[in-house]
């Protein structure tokens, strides 16, 4: 039996990955801050899919908690075959906002924790000669919007760098770059979505399924759905001045 560890595994995209991995027969290690919610989700997944579900309460903005999760990934007696670095949240803060703690927490959770856990998993998996690491980035990585875009651009660049370091080891690294996904993400961040048309939204279970299929093929970058693949191509190849203009317009529409 193989084991998958999912951070932020009790809601949104993380919960979708947990369901998809359990459906594939993986035992799970779920990491999140809310111990009660962890227990509830673990019981539900265990009953539904007949897999073992371990819970690991942790706040990935806290260095000691990150080290506990990293130690679990490094445990040779209980190997983890798949890591999904999903924990994160919407960051409705501007680069000029005088709120250093908000920026620090975002970097701790969505950059430093990803670095620490990806490294711990990568070393352990390389030693065994196989494994899969999935890091949740965003299509925001390709635009220039507030503090969130640079953070997700870092996740994307980190994932490609880690994939290079692990090339030929039997361990693959995939950065998933979803567009608009129907989760609690935007409400929690106070982001207005009323102007976003229905047809652009993607269900989190589809994101998980398509990402896992890309990871199976060893792809370093996954963009679920054809419509968001097209958006990525436009963002990659359009003049940067046009991308900045589109980013400003998008930011104004969400205020």
Catalytic residue numbers, as ranges: 148
Bridge-partner residues for 173, per DSSP? 133
Q: 246: buried, middle or exposed (CB in 10 Å: 19+, 13-18, 0-12)?
A: middle
Q: What is the DSSP letter of 181?
A: B
Query: How many angstroms separate the first and last alpha carbons of the chain?
Result: 47
Question: Kind and range of the H or E element at 29?
Answer: strand 27-32
Q: Look-up: residue for tokens 């106070």?
A: 190
Q: Look-up: residue for tokens 């370093």?
A: 220
Nearest to 138 by CA among 180, 84, 105, 196: 180
Please count the other Cβ atoms lying within 10 Å of the Cβ belonging to residue 76.
8
Q: Look-up: residue for tokens 């951070």?
A: 7
Residue 164 token pair: 């290079």
* Residue 137 phi, psi (nearest 5): -100, -135
Dihedral sign computed on CA atoms, order 224, 8, 133, 142: positive
Let me know the angle formed at the C-alpha of 146 by 225 and 67, rounded to the nearest 5 degrees.
Answer: 80
């Amino acid at each position: 039996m193989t084991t998958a560890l999912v951070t932020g595994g009790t809601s949104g995209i993380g919960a979708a990955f947990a369901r998809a991995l359990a459906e594939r027969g993986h035992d799970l290690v779920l990491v999140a801050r809310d111990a009660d919610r962890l227990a509830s989700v673990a019981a539900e997944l265990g009953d539904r899919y007949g897999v073992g579900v371990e819970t690991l309460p942790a706040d990935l903005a806290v260095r000691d908690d990150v080290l506990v999760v990293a130690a679990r990934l490094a445990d040779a007696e209980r190997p983890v075959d798949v890591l999904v670095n999903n924990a994160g949240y919407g960051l409705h803060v501007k680069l000029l906002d005088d709120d250093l703690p908000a920026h620090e927490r975002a970097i701790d959770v969505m950059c430093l924790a990803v670095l620490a856990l990806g490294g711990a998993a990568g070393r352990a998996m390389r030693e065994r000669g196989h494994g899969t690491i999935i890091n949740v980035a965003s299509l925001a990585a390709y635009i220039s919007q507030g503090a969130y875009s640079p953070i997700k651009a870092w996740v994307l660049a980190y994932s490609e760098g880690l994939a290079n370091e692990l090339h030929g080891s039997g361990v693959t690294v995939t950065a998933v770059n979803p567009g608009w996904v129907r989760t609690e993400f935007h409400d929690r961040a106070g982001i207005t979505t009323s102007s976003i048309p229905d047809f652009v939204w993607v269900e989190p279970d589809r994101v998980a399924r398509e990402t896992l299929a890309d990871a199976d093929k060893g792809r370093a970058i996954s963009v679920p759905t054809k419509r968001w693949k097209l958006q990525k191509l436009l963002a990659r190849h359009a003049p940067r001045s046009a991308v900045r203009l589109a980013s400003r317009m998008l930011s104004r529409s969400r205020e």
